[in-house]
Structure 1
Amino acid sequence: MYKVKELQLSTDSFDNPLFRLHLRCFRWYGYVASIEQRHPWLALLRCTIFTASIWLSCALMLLRLFLSRGYESINDGATSWATAVQYFAVSIATLNAYVQRERVITMLRTAHEDLQHLILESDAQELDLLHATQRYVRTITLLLWVPSVVAGMMAYLDCIYRTIFLPKTVFNMAAVRRGEAQPILIFKLFPFGELYDHFVMGYLGAWYALALGITTIPLWHTFIACLMKYVTLKLQILNKRVLAMDIRRFEPNLLQHHLGANERIHWQLQLCKYFVQEQLKIRDFVQQIEHLIRIPVMADFIIFSVLICFLFFALTVGEPSNMDYSFMFLYLFVMAAILWIYHWHATLIVEGQNELCFAFYAGDWYKFGLPVQRMLLLMMMHAQRPLKMRALLVELNLKTFLDIMRGAYSYFNLLRSAHLY
């Protein structure tokens, strides 16, 4: 069992160019702690409360849905089930992150130290790759965070308006059951059983649960996207350095001396050794990511593929209001984006690994000595080993993502045909 102090990160880690936003949010939730914190056990306590509250919210929603006697429309049921199932998926992810905190901290330390060295020793082209990766992870984060926040703000604004101007429709569950009043949107999203009229659990509890959802769901998935994009950056830089085969990486003034053939071969072999070490580090990091995400991504694969089909069916068969349309499309977008994030970035890693094999061949290997050529041949054979990622039974790549979408559409057609007949 790890100790709390072993989970503390250095202060400059929170200014990491790729993980800055996510680490600061994780520190707020208690998943990571800074070495400056006097009482790091408070971070562990916050993290425990945070994880437990997500599971409690999920359990309350699922309990209410299973005990429900039905819904007035299929759209209400689809919205409630979509919310509950997304919380179930993120509950699995947060619990997995809680259990594997030591692995996450180790990966973050490794990536931070490596990026620090990279910034110090990189040339202008490699720094451009780093800056492009920074812009990319910001874009991906906004891509998933904006729709989540928009959906949350819609529910919050509806709640605030009706609480101020139509309080009888908010705190009168009996009228709602009789059909004389409509429950506010936040109660549809977070149906906490018979607690609607209880202010703390039914009202503030729903507000808190919504805040958890709009922050945690995009935060976790975009953090994993940052880790995977970091691997892609490492492969891009390694490919660039392999093509250059520049022995001045070890000693800038080497080419100013009249090196003999044996000395040149020595330094080129040292460079090959460095390339092999970098490949092994990348493979190990990818394995760590795979161990971290295989259970949550497998759960997402099963849950989201079924839910996407059901939401399409609800949109087609039901009579959704404008608000229902908005939430269903937001849910569809978020779920598809989450699945795409994992499969797309896993594909980028595979492509980067494939390009590495060609980079060994594309260089001026025919000008090197025979020992170096033999070493490059062995490195090419090693680079041909696939760098694929799996989520238990599912291989992560774009083909799998397209298969998920096609499968969801096929099941949707079956449901629609059965409904018509």
Structure 2
Amino acid sequence: MFKVKDLLLSPETFEDPIFRTHLRCFRWYGYVASKDQKRPWLSLLRCTVFTASIWLSCALMLARVFRGYENLNDGATSWATAVQYFTVSIATLNAYVQRERVISLLRVAFEDIQNLMFVADNREMDLLVATQVYTRTITLILWVPSVIAGLIAYSDCLYRTLFLPKSVFNMPAVRRGEEQPILLFQLFPFRELCDNFVIGFLGPWYAIALGITTVPLWHTFITCLMKYVNLKLQILNKRVEEMDITRLNPNLVLERLSASELTYWRLQLFKEFVEEQRRLRKFIQELQYLICVPVMADFIIFSVLMCFLFFALTAGVPSKMDYFFMFIYLFVMAGILWIYHWHATLIVECHDELSLAYFSCGWYNFELSLQRMLVFVMMHAQRPMRMRALLVDLNLRTFIDIVRGAYSYFNLLRSSHLN
């Protein structure tokens, strides 16, 4: 069992250029805490309440959808919402159980980025800034649709509560089909409890707020970790290709070094590169342990749900609002699957370029003994680096297979429906 002090991050960590936004949100939810907080244990306790709230909301939504819907389109959007909550419930519980691993990964990444900012040249700083901009853009792209969908549900709730109150709390009329429930009430099995303001009104508001913030937050945080690995591999490739021994000792004057001294410092540089590669492999392995279960769940559930949403768009008679929400869900689910498989592909491709970087480092000017050593270093660099989610490889080919599979199942459902 972890202790509170084991889960505390330094205040400087929350200013990390890549993870700043996500760490501040995680501190609000209680997944991480700062050493300068007066009561960090209270923040970590809040995480327990938050995780339980996600699971409670998910259970209520699943209870509602299992009761069935008269309208296919209402059922499709409700199923999509419930499944989104189910997958994010798995992710948040996984993060809650593995908080020590999350903290460890963050500490390693923060210390590494601080060291990089201290010794980086202009090109490496450009790579760091580009990574920072990229992660912010990805976060924004995934966050905006979730926030828009949540604001529409809130706007519908506010408008009808203020101007059409009979359609909000008149549940007998809703059950008779005389009134249409607001979007929030379609997701929860409250029935007569909707007359209770706290349970029937504030409860759904709180649950939707959790969903529109948590779904993009967790997935884009993992994207930041994966993009950090890609950044480190880019910098490693650059340094290998340059083979600049003055990085080890800025006082070295190349013209004054003998052949044996040059060989010695280049050998030290080889050792540093191999050690850096070993650290990155360990980091990727820890990251893989962190995400394997929730990503496998996303792989199975989202592929089935995407097929179902396509079927609902063609078989039902969706309204403009139904169209909007279905496309939002399809975009978010496809986006979540894409960011995992795309960034895992970037890591693999960038690692595969490492051998080429060694070949481009001017090895023909080295001593024969160092050339022989370089062969073994290149063989070590050629060891495959890949990411898996239990039984599934994370790469673009798998993502394309998911889309193809969803489309094939959709055609099967549609042909069965037409017959």
> CA separation of 1:356/1:191 partners in 2, compared to 1, >3 Å: closer, same or farther?
farther
Distance 1:133 1:223 in 2: 13
Give the one of 70, 73, 79 matched to 1:72.
70
Residue aligning to 1:219? 217
Corresponding residue number in structure 1 for 2:394: 396
Q: Decide whether aligned partners of structure 1 residues 78 and 194 sit closer, same or farther in structure 2, where only a CA change above 3 A counts.
A: farther
SS of equivalent residue, structure 1 residue 13: helix
**Which runs of structure 2 are paired with 1:229-308 in the superposition (5 Å)?**
229-255=227-253, 258-308=256-306
Alignment of 1:11-410 (within 5 A): 11-66=11-66, 68=67, 70-192=68-190, 195-255=193-253, 258-410=256-408
Deviations 1:168-202 (A, max 9, x none): 10011111000110000111234446532221112
Distance, in Å, in 2 between the alignment partners of 1:128 and 1:268 is 26
Q: 1:60 offset after TM fit, Å?
A: 1.0
Q: How many residues align?
A: 419
What is the TM-score of this pair, normalised by structure 2? 0.99
CA 1:272–1:238: 2 relative to 1, 3 Å = same
Equivalent residues of 1:4, 1:41 under 8 A apart: yes
Q: Which amino acid aligns with 1:39?
A: R
Q: Distance in 1 between matches of 2:165 and 2:137?
A: 40
Give the conservation status (yes or no) of the 8 Å contact 1:79–1:188: no
Tell me what 1:10 maps to: 10
Quick one: distance in 1 between partners of 2:359 and 2:89? 46
Amino acid at match of 1:361: F
- The letter of the residue matching 2:94 is N
In the superposition, relative to structure 1, how do residues 98 and 194 fare at CA in structure 2: closer, same or farther (>3 Å)?
farther
SS across alignment from 1:386: coil
Distance change (3 Å), C-alpha of 1:263 and 1:2: same
Structure 2: distance between partners of 1:237 and 1:151 = 39
Question: Which one-letter code corresponds to 1:299 in the other structure?
Answer: A
The superposition leaves residues 387-419 of structure 1 with CA deviations (integer Å, 9 ceiling, x where unpaired) of 100000000000000000000000000000000
**CA distance in structure 1 between the aligned counterparts of 2:191 and 2:258, rounded to whole angstroms:** 81
Residues 192 and 362 (structure 1 numbering): CA distance in 2 closer, same or farther, change over 3 Å?
farther
- Structure 2 residue ranges without an equivalent (≥5): none
> Contact (CA 8 Å) 1:29, 1:47: kept in 2 or not?
yes
Separation (CA, whole Å) in 2 of partners of 1:415 and 1:194: 36
Structure 1 unaligned spans of 5+: none
Instruction: Between 274-283 and 251-260, report the one with greater CA deviation.
Output: 251-260
CA–CA distance in 1 between the matches of 2:279 and 2:373? 19
How many angstroms does 1:73 deviate by? 1.2
Tell me which amino acid in the other structure corresponds to 1:23.
Answer: L
Name the Cα RMSD after superposition: 1.0
The answer to whether the 8 A contact 1:80-1:190 is kept is: no
SS at match of 2:169: coil
Write the distance in 2 (CA, Å) between the matches of 1:95 and 1:105.
15
Q: 1:213 to 1:206 in 2, by over 3 A?
A: same
CA contact (8 A) 1:60 1:193 kept: no
Normalising to structure 1: TM-score of the pair? 0.98
CA distance in 2, matches of 1:197, 1:374: 79
Q: Percent identity?
A: 71
**Can you list the C-alpha shifts for 1:293-326, whole angstroms capped at 9, x where unaligned?**
0000000001000000000000001001111111
